Chains A and B, each alone.
Chain A
Amino acid sequence: MDFFDQFPVMEQQELRDFKKGIDLAFRTFARTYGDAIESFFEPLLFFLVWLEKLLTNSPWPMIILVLAGLAWIASRSILLVIGTIISFLMIGYFGMWKDTMSTVAIITVATLVCLAAGIPMGILMARSNRIQAALLPVLDMMQTIPSFVYLIPILMLLGIGKVPGLIAVCIYAIPPIIRLTNLGIREVDKEALEAVDSFGATTWQRLTKVQIPLALPTIFAGVNQTIMMALAMVVIASMIGVRGLGVPILRAISNQYLALGLMNGLAIVALAIIFDRISQHYGKRIQKHREGRNL
């Protein structure tokens, strides 16, 4: 009856060797290709550093003005503009300006990377059931696996720094944009597609003139989600060397500084709300035709 009481476990020594083997293999891989991968991401690092410097070095009134202007262009809502200005004034007044700018920089770059990679992937996924079947479990995994787990191979490959942080953020934030692009395109009205087909559309015309424009509201929901998820990763990213609002929060955790943690946390919330409202308003505004009947 031993069999039922004791789980048939792998031999201790074998298990250790098994794990060691994997570690060693990956370490060898990291040693051989680490530099190549790092140089591959160099342009991204360059862009991130440039943007961060631009944001931190520019005079603060100008930054607030630009952000308020962006809010106005995107939403045409005076309330949102006032909210944006007040939030950033308070962030600056409580001494979090620099960290906030670093966070805005990494969120911006991460979101752009996610969109640049995620939208084409979503389109591919919508075009083929096979690609969808292959990608869906991967996306599920990316969203559920604890982020600390994929920090390990990233650290082994690239060490501590901005690029590994950026990659960690992107892994977490890219699934919604892929999913919602896929969903949006698949949900496009079949009759509209039949109509463009009957007028002799090419695959490209079909995609750019009908599928993407009609999927835009859903795609925009994906953009919004991606931004939110990128913000959620700020603290974890700060553990592997990304500057920003996450750093003081980490310090607050280890030293039990309630006020410091709360203030920086609220700054992240403020950023989240501002970005969320701006992207949502913009998404709605480009859908002019969805206004009600006004005949």
Chain B
Amino acid sequence: MSVVKIKIESLYKIFGTNPKMGLEHIKNGVGKDELLSKYSHVLGLQDINLNVQEKSIQVIMGLSGSGKSTLIRHINRLIEPTAGKITVEDQDVMAYNKNALRNFRRQKTAMVFQRFALMPHMTVIKNVSLGLDMQGFKPEEAKEKASKWIEKVGLNGYEEKYPQHLSGGMQQRVGLARALTNDADILLMDEAFSALDPLIRKDMQDILLGLQSELHKTVVFITHDLDEALKIGDRIAILKDGKMDQDDLPADILLNPKTDYVKKFVEDVNRSRVLKAKHIMQKLNGKDISKAIKVNENDFIEKFIDRVVEEKPEMIVVQDKQNKNVGCISSKRLSEILKK
């Protein structure tokens, strides 16, 4: 049983001069557009419920204006909710006073920003040790810890440069190193790679996944890019107009979209590139696997599709790392999944 690290319960956010009034209207069934036109209040988030599992990457996806950046800022209370409850490790974040909130931000969370938000007047090493500096670490100690993370993200040699002298991708590595140096359990990533060009973005995704496989942080990752979401998410929550449409495993988002919006969203995805064997396999249940080909559970469909076309097997057996059979895919199911 996995542990829930961050629990968000019936969270509402309404922007305007009198949010409580707006909340009443929303609860009485007034829609987002009506709230804006009639009462000139903006609905940010509506009845959000989300459980983020410990040591997993929870992606929150939505188009611009869907409230995803607003949502992530509620976790460390950069934005105060209008109503609702946020619990981190069974502690009510909303109950924190100024001091407790500061300590929570210093020790429990670290954030990476879309437009990097580095300090232009500080060198790379100073930027990376910013969090420790806030906590009152001695400069030498902070520097030592920071250097370690600078090396991890592949920026050694750039310690004394200023952010302006680095490319976008390198700047975001600084942003990532800055967040990791804090040694917090929770990593909040607000469209962290959206401002980067595709190749660099892929690099950064790989760096993140590589680090995650050894660090096991609880990551909340915001993105508007479905491919990115499918690549790195352990779970994906889809946000639309401040409302949560679906929160599921990536494969389920693709294969069983719950709303028309999600369906439209995932329509054009190249499934063979984002679905792994384990996502689509079914139980073995003594099926005839004598003529089956064998694939690894973490292989993308793309990787074994050629073999399937060539050898035309009735059945594909899915194996884990230890070559143990864990499931199977019938060729009929495979073609159904790829047809849709």
A residues in contact (CB < 8 Å) with B? 189, 191-192, 194-202, 205, 209-210, 213-214, 216, 287-291, 293-295
* Residues B113 and A200 in contact, CB atoms below 8 Å apart: no
B117 A192 Cβ-Cβ under 8 A: yes
5 additional A-B pairs beyond A192-B118, A196-B134, beta carbons within 8 Å, are A191-B113, A194-B117, A213-B119, A214-B119, A293-B165
Q: CA–CA, A75 to B129, complex, Å?
A: 31
Chain B residues lying within 8 Å of A295, measured Cβ to Cβ, are 161, 165-167
| Contact status A198-B164, CB under 8 Å | no
Near A by CB (< 8 A), chain B positions 28-54 give none
- State whether the Cβ of B109 lies closer than 8 Å to any Cβ in chain A: yes
Provide 11 A-B residue pairs closer than 8 Å at the C-beta atoms, listed in order of the A residue. Answer: A194-B113, A199-B110, A199-B131, A200-B106, A200-B131, A200-B134, A200-B135, A213-B119, A287-B121, A289-B120, A294-B165
Across the interface, which residues of A come within 8 angstroms of B122, CB to CB? 289
User: B121, A213: Cβ atoms under 8 Å?
Assistant: yes
> Per-residue 0/1 for B168-206: is the Cβ within 8 Å of any A Cβ (1 yes, 0 no)?
000000000000001000001000000000000000000
With contacts A200-B102, A200-B105, A200-B134 known, is A195 near B166, CB below 8 A? no
Residue contact B130 to A293, C-beta cutoff 8 Å: no
**In the bound complex, how far is the Cα of B25 from the Cα of A213, in angstroms?**
45
Encode contact with A along B153-169: 1 for CB under 8 Å, 0 otherwise: 00000000111111100
Q: How far is the CA of A194 from the CA of B146 in the complex (A)?
A: 21
CA distance A197 to B166 in the complex (A): 24
Would you call B236 an interface residue if the criterion is a C-beta within 8 Å of the partner chain's C-beta atoms? no
Chain A residues with Cβ below 8 Å from B117 are 189, 191-192, 194-195
Question: Is there an interface contact between B165 and A214, defined as CB atoms closer than 8 Å?
Answer: no
Measured CB to CB, the nearest residue on chain A to B123 is A289
Minimum CB–CB distance from A215 to chain B (whole Å) comes to 10
Assuming A194-B113, A200-B105, is B76 touching A210 (CB within 8 A)?
no
Considering only residues 91-116 of chain B, those with a C-beta below 8 Å from chain A are 101-107, 109-111, 113, 115
Residues of A within 8 A of B110 (CB): 198-199
* A213 contact set on B, CB distance < 8 A: 119, 121
The 8 Å CB contact of B162, one of A189, A200, A210, A288, is A288
Q: Is the CB–CB distance between B119 and A210 below 8 Å?
A: yes
Residues of A within 8 A of B162 (CB): 288-289, 291
B residues with CB within 8 A of A? 76, 78, 101-107, 109-111, 113, 115, 117-122, 130-131, 133-135, 161-167, 182, 188
In the bound complex, do residue A202 and residue B121 qualify as a contact, i.e. CB atoms below 8 Å apart?
no
A210–B119 Cα distance when bound, in Å, is 8
Interchain nearest-CB distance for B15 vs A (Å): 16
A200 to B134: give the CA distance in the assembly, Å.
Answer: 7
By a CB distance below 8 angstroms, the chain A residues around B102 are 200-202
Nearest CB to that of B115 among chain A residues?
A191
Complex Cα gap A291–B163 (Å): 11
Complex contact A200–B103 (CB within 8 A) = yes
Residues A194 and B78 in contact in the complex (CB < 8 Å), given A201-B134, A289-B164: yes
Contacts of B121 in A (CB 8 A): 213-214, 216, 287, 289
User: Residue B134 contacts which of A191, A205, A291 (CB distance < 8 angstroms)?
Assistant: A205
Minimal beta-carbon separation of A196 from chain B (angstroms): 7
In the complex with contacts A209-B133, A289-B120, A199-B182 CB distance below 8 A: yes
CB nearest to A191 among chain B residues: B117
Other-chain residue from A191, A196, A289 in contact with B130 (beta carbon distance below 8 A)? A196
Query: Chain B residue with minimal CB distance to A292?
Result: B164
In the bound complex, CA of A53 to CA of B72 (Å): 63
Contacts of B163 in A (CB 8 A): 289
Which residues of B are found within 8 Å of A209, using beta-carbon distances? 119, 133
Shortest 6 CB-CB distances between A and B: which pairs? A200-B106, A200-B105, A195-B117, A289-B162, A198-B111, A191-B117
- Chain B residue nearest to A197 in the complex (CB): B78
Q: How far is the CB of B49 from chain A (nearest CB, A)?
A: 24
Q: A210 to B117, alpha carbons, bound, how many Å?
A: 12
Find the B residue at minimum CB distance from A210: B119
Q: In whole angstroms, what is the CA distance A182 to B101 when docked?
A: 28
Contact present for B105 and A199 (CB under 8 Å): yes
The residue on B at minimum CB distance from A205 is: B134
B121, B134, B135: residue with the most chain A Cβ atoms closer than 10 Å: B121
Chain A nearest CB, measured from B107 CB (Å):
8
- State whether A198 and B130 are in contact (beta carbons under 8 Å apart), knowing that A191-B113, A192-B117, A214-B120 are contacts in the complex: no
- Given the interface pairs A198-B78, A289-B162, the reply to whether A192 lies near B119 with Cβ below 8 Å is yes
Residue of B nearest to A213 (CB): B121
The distance from the CB of A153 to the nearest CB of chain B, in whole angstroms, is: 43
A193 smallest CB distance to B (angstroms): 9
Say how far B162's CB is from chain A's closest CB, in angstroms: 4
How far does the alpha carbon of A287 sit from the alpha carbon of B119 in the complex, in Å?
13
- The complex places the Cα of A209 from the Cα of B119 at a distance, in Å, of 9
Compute how far the CA of A216 lies from the CA of B120 in the bound complex, rounded to whole angstroms. 12
**CB <8 Å contact, A199 and B165:** no
Task: Please give, as numbers and ranges, the residues of chain B lying within 8 Å of A194 by CB-CB distance.
Answer: 78, 113, 117
Which of the listed residues B113, B131, B134, B162 has the most CB atoms from chain A within 10 Å of its own CB?
Answer: B134
Complex Cα distance A288/B161, Å? 11
**Cross-chain contact A198 with B105 (CB below 8 angstroms):** yes
**Closest Cβ–Cβ distance, residue B128 to chain A (whole Å):** 11
